[in-house]
A and B are shown apart, each in its own frame.
Chain A
């Protein structure tokens, strides 16, 4: 039983908002001069590691097919202190290969998802949030004590460091020599800094050029907002396809007097009286007007209806993990047995969030050599967010591929 249900009874009376929300995520560019929060939600760029050691090295996180290191797609800060007090700080990282070919034909080998968590008292971050200093700062940022030993070029574990200033790390000789052009200017300044100061915010930005074999995804910050609706459903495939089956579900309250409804809509019907008069008396049926398969696609229509309220959403986060994510079509929906259990505790994995194809638009994938294309990515994580110490543990990702089946043309 989820503890949130216990929480329901303990919450104050005036709080009548629903306990389990659906949070939506939107891409936003980081404004000039600002840097990411200590615990950011971000898309692309370098990963911001929660725990400054133990994170993957470039050799640990290669695509199974093309042997190139995966790039950060999305990272989310999703604390769950009420599920596990040791998950006071909790980050989920999603890595993906940048090649559409790998992703389409070998999805299990081209994605990796990691979870990392820390309790409130930990050696890496101050225990209490910073006091409010200025208007822009809401005052809830925990300041970082220790820098992650991340390679400045690729963002993964860097075992070696610059011998001169010993403040910046590199994973390999190639990256060190590549970075020297930018590091030259700051190396001398860093040498003079006191031991143990964090230099992550002092680094000059390094522009990466098109010649890089492993492009990063475009970097954005994810801004969240509560969704208006807190339930969602996929269309029922078994429902008989009668003339009215492809529409909203009914409930008893909606059944009202027929005449009253016609009255209410009379004004609009009047407006169209001229044009409809010509066809009065003719028999029209739904099937006759459905010229191609697309109009019959219940899943896609449902998906579009749900997302059209906020068409630029890229992420749907489900606090209630019994909710079923929305799918774009009927194929490649995982059966429960396909979702592997958590390797650490053996417990079941539940749907935590899903990424939507609008994200691909923001990443401008069509400019890649082999563009990515998927319908949706759903991330399943351990239900109990079990104790994993200070390790980065793998979680499960399910990809629903894009539906490129051609429209069925009616036989003439």
Chain B
């Protein structure tokens, strides 16, 4: 066993970053903290590209199905996302010393103009749970394609085609509706669809729809299929765009991918 070099605070304190450093240098840290704009330092490659401004639209990320791992990326593109807490339920777990209670928050998030996400988080405090659920919801954000029922007048207002989704035993079918019909659906699905920005739609459901989870998930899948549906206007062949991960120079030189408008 080693004998300590010299007694006293001097050598005991002599470690990385402690003791023996100029006070001035360490002290500057306090003022430095306020300088950072936004306070977000990205940890993933996609985050770095987004913060540098190399990705113009959120849709560029969706085009290549890249995984978004940092909620700040979504905040960067859509700063004004609205969220709504669907439910806060206390859940308990049996332990040796009694019951441990935590709160589970379910949140739906969307900008009511083509993006929607669902998130859930469990935590000891309600505020933490809600904050965590909103973060999770941002990671699950999905684009929604809207179309017309009849004449192509004005902005798109309904689903572009009949789409269906399933989860568990629940089958949900979304059918285009004329302008002014409103969302004809159960309250849970209605909330989701309104956050997505769909104004008019008919729905048909089957199965145990009382299970909101499955119902929400099925509706979510149906909505996400809108951008997977091959409509005649997409028949035209087009050149594959390189991913953001590939050569940035090439990417910037190519035609910029605009948001899909009907």
A residues in contact (CB < 8 Å) with B: 1, 3, 6-7, 10-11, 21, 23, 25-26, 28, 37, 41, 76-85, 88, 120, 129, 135-141, 221, 223-226, 243-244, 246-248, 250, 252, 254-258, 261-262, 265, 268-269, 272, 275-276, 278-280, 282-295, 297, 300, 303-304, 307, 311-312, 317, 319, 328, 353, 356-358, 360-362, 364-366, 371, 373, 402-407, 409-410, 412
Encoded as 1 (CB less than 8 Å from any A CB) or 0, chain B from 77 to 104 comes to: 0000000111111111101111111111
**Does A312 lie within 8 Å of B36, measured CB to CB?**
yes
**Does A275 lie within 8 Å of B66, measured CB to CB?**
no
User: Which chain B residue has the least Cβ–Cβ distance from A307?
Assistant: B43
B165 at the interface (CB under 8 A from A): yes
**Does B99 lie within 8 Å of A412, measured CB to CB?**
no
**Does B45 lie within 8 Å of A373, measured CB to CB?**
yes
**Consensus secondary structure, chain A interface:** loop
9 additional contacts (CB under 8 A) given A265-B125, A406-B65: A3-B2, A11-B12, A141-B22, A221-B25, A223-B29, A248-B124, A282-B215, A311-B40, A317-B17
**Does A82 lie within 8 Å of B1, measured CB to CB?**
no
Interface centre among B21, B54, B165 (most CB of A within 10 A): B21
Partner of A223, one of B18, B28, B68, B221: B28
* CB contact list, B215-259 vs A, under 8 A: 215-217, 220-221, 225, 245, 248
**Does B85 lie within 8 Å of A272, measured CB to CB?**
yes
Instruction: Give the Cβ gap from A273 to chain B, nearest Cβ, in Å.
Output: 9
B residues in contact (CB < 8 Å) with A: 1-2, 4-5, 7, 11-12, 14-26, 28-29, 32, 36, 39-45, 47-49, 51-52, 54, 65-70, 84-93, 95-104, 106, 117-120, 122-127, 130, 136, 139-140, 142, 165-167, 187-188, 191, 210-217, 220-221, 225, 245, 248
Can you name 27 A-B residue pairings with CB atoms under 8 Å? Answer: A6-B1, A6-B4, A26-B29, A41-B17, A77-B16, A138-B21, A225-B17, A225-B26, A243-B91, A243-B122, A244-B91, A265-B126, A268-B127, A275-B86, A279-B187, A282-B87, A283-B212, A284-B87, A291-B142, A304-B43, A311-B40, A312-B39, A319-B16, A361-B47, A407-B65, A410-B221, A412-B221
**Does A402 lie within 8 Å of B45, measured CB to CB?**
yes
- Give the distance in Å from the alpha carbon of A364 to the alpha carbon of B126 in the complex: 38
Which residues of B are found within 8 Å of A312, using beta-carbon distances?
Answer: 36, 39, 41
Which residues of A are found within 8 Å of B66, using beta-carbon distances?
Answer: 406
**Does A1 lie within 8 Å of B101, measured CB to CB?**
no
**Does B41 lie within 8 Å of A361, measured CB to CB?**
yes
**Does B119 lie within 8 Å of A289, measured CB to CB?**
yes
Which residues of A are found within 8 Å of B48, using beta-carbon distances?
Answer: 360-361, 365-366
Partner of A357, one of B39, B44, B91: B44
Partner of A295, one of B36, B95, B136, B214: B136
Which residues of A are found within 8 Å of B215, using beta-carbon distances?
Answer: 282
Instruction: Give the Cβ gap from B117 to chain A, nearest Cβ, in Å.
Output: 8
Instruction: Give the Cβ gap from A44 to chain B, nearest Cβ, in Å.
Output: 17
Instruction: Give the Cβ gap from B64 to chain A, nearest Cβ, in Å.
Output: 9
- Contact flag A23-B17 (CB < 8 Å), given A223-B32, A275-B84: yes
**Does A248 lie within 8 Å of B123, measured CB to CB?**
yes
Which residues of A are found within 8 Å of B24, using beta-carbon distances?
Answer: 135-138
**Does B12 lie within 8 Å of A255, measured CB to CB?**
no
User: Which chain B residue has the least Cβ–Cβ distance from A77?
Assistant: B16
- Give the distance in Å from the alpha carbon of A78 to the alpha carbon of B15 in the complex: 6
Which residues of A are found within 8 Å of B119, using beta-carbon distances?
Answer: 289, 295
- Contact flag A300-B91 (CB < 8 Å), given A140-B21, A295-B139, A361-B51: no
**Does B16 lie within 8 Å of A23, measured CB to CB?**
yes
Which residues of B are found within 8 Å of A138, using beta-carbon distances?
Answer: 21-24
- Contact flag A286-B5 (CB < 8 Å), given A79-B16, A319-B16: no
Shortest beta-carbon contacts, A-B, top 3: A288-B213, A224-B17, A282-B212
- Give the distance in Å from the alpha carbon of A243 to the alpha carbon of B91 in the complex: 10
Which residues of B are found within 8 Å of A137, using beta-carbon distances?
Answer: 22, 24
Partner of A82, one of B11, B40, B165, B216: B11
**Does B213 lie within 8 Å of A285, measured CB to CB?**
yes
Instruction: Give the Cβ gap from A125 to chain B, nearest Cβ, in Å.
Output: 13
Instruction: Give the Cβ gap from B149 to chain A, nearest Cβ, in Å.
Output: 24
**Does B44 lie within 8 Å of A294, measured CB to CB?**
no
**Does A26 lie within 8 Å of B7, measured CB to CB?**
no
Instruction: Give the Cβ gap from B131 to chain A, nearest Cβ, in Å.
Output: 11
Which residues of A are found within 8 Å of B217, using beta-carbon distances?
Answer: 288-289, 291
**Does B2 lie within 8 Å of A247, measured CB to CB?**
no
Instruction: Give the Cβ gap from A154 to chain B, nearest Cβ, in Å.
Output: 27
Which residues of B are found within 8 Å of A84, using beta-carbon distances?
Answer: 2
Which residues of A are found within 8 Å of B39, using beta-carbon distances?
Answer: 311-312
